[in-house]
Homo-oligomer: A and B are copies of this chain.
Amino acid sequence: MKIKIINPNTTLEMTRGIEAAGRLAARPGTEILAVSPESGPASIESYYDEYLCIPGVLDEVRKGEQEGADAYVIACYGDPGLQAAREVTEAPVVGIAEASLYMASMLAARFSIVTVLPRIRTMLEEMVDGYGMTRRVVSIRTTPLCVLDIEEDPEHSWQMVRDDARRAVEEDDAEAVLLGCAGMADFANSLEEELGVPVIDGVVAAVKFAEGIVDLGKKTSKLKTYKPPEKKGFTGAMKGFGTA
C-alpha cells in the first residue's frame, strides 16, 4: 500500500526526516511517500502559519488521488486541514496529533505533550479538547524552541525537549510523553530510553494506524460532514480549488 505523508511546511530537510521516520516504522510492502506542499510556510508556529499551510496540504491530497495513495498522514502537530482533507478523498486521513493521543491512551493513563514555542499552547489545548483528551493530557509543556531550531541544532534541541519531558514526568505526573512537533520524531527512542516511559511520536503512530485502517479496507464516511466539497467556483489564487 502507499501512504502519502504530507509535511505541511515547506522545509524539505524536515520532510526527509519525517520520511525516514515513516519508512522505519512502515512494514514491508508499505510504500512511504513524504512531501512538502508547493506553497506555504517554512514552519508552522501560529494560527497564521497553520491556516496558510492548508491550501498546500489539500493540493497534495488532490495530487495523491492521482498517485494512488491509499492513505494520508498530515504531519504537523496541529493536524491542519484534517477535516477538509477528509472531504477531498475517500482514503483515510490521519493526523499525527490525533494518532499520538489515541496511541498514548492505549499505553498510559495520563501524559504530557512537549512542544515548541509558548504561543501555540492555546492552539494545542483546543486541539486536545476537540479530541476529547483533556482529562488525559496532564500538561502541555512549551519550550523556547522554534520548529526549525530542531533541524539546525538537534543536540541543543534534544536537551531542551528532554528537560521538559523530564519535568512533565517528575512534576506533572505524566506517565508518557508525546512529541508535539513532527520535527522531533528522531528524539523518540533516545528520550524513551532516558526517561523510562513511552515517548510517542505522532508520525510513526499515524503510519501504523493508517496501515491498519487500509488493511481493513475502511474508508472515510462520505455521508454528510465529509462529503466531497460542494460544487462551486473559486477565484484568484485559489482558483485551482474550484470544483464547478
Q: Is A216 touching B204 in the complex (CB atoms < 8 A)?
A: yes
Compute how far the CA of A178 lies from the CA of B7 in the bound complex, rounded to whole angstroms: 31
Given A41-B238, A212-B211, A135-B146 contact (CB < 8 Å): no
* Complex: chain B residue closest to A212, CB-CB: B208
* C-alpha gap A105/B46 in the complex (Å): 18
- With A234-B39, A235-B38, A238-B41 already in contact, the answer to whether A107 and B55 are too (CB < 8 A) is no
Closest 5 CB pairs of A and B: A39-B236, A132-B132, A208-B212, A109-B225, A108-B221
In the complex, are the beta carbons of A126 and B130 less than 8 A apart? Answer: yes
Task: Let me know if B49 and A51 touch, CB within 8 A.
Answer: no
Asked if A225 and B110 sit within 8 Å, CB to CB, the answer is: yes
Option from B52, B229, B242 in Cβ contact (under 8 Å) with A54:
B52
Interface residues of A in 50-71 (CB under 8 A from B): 50-56, 58
Query: Is B236 a contact partner of A42 (Cβ separation < 8 A)?
Result: no
* Contact (Cβ within 8 A) B132 A48: no
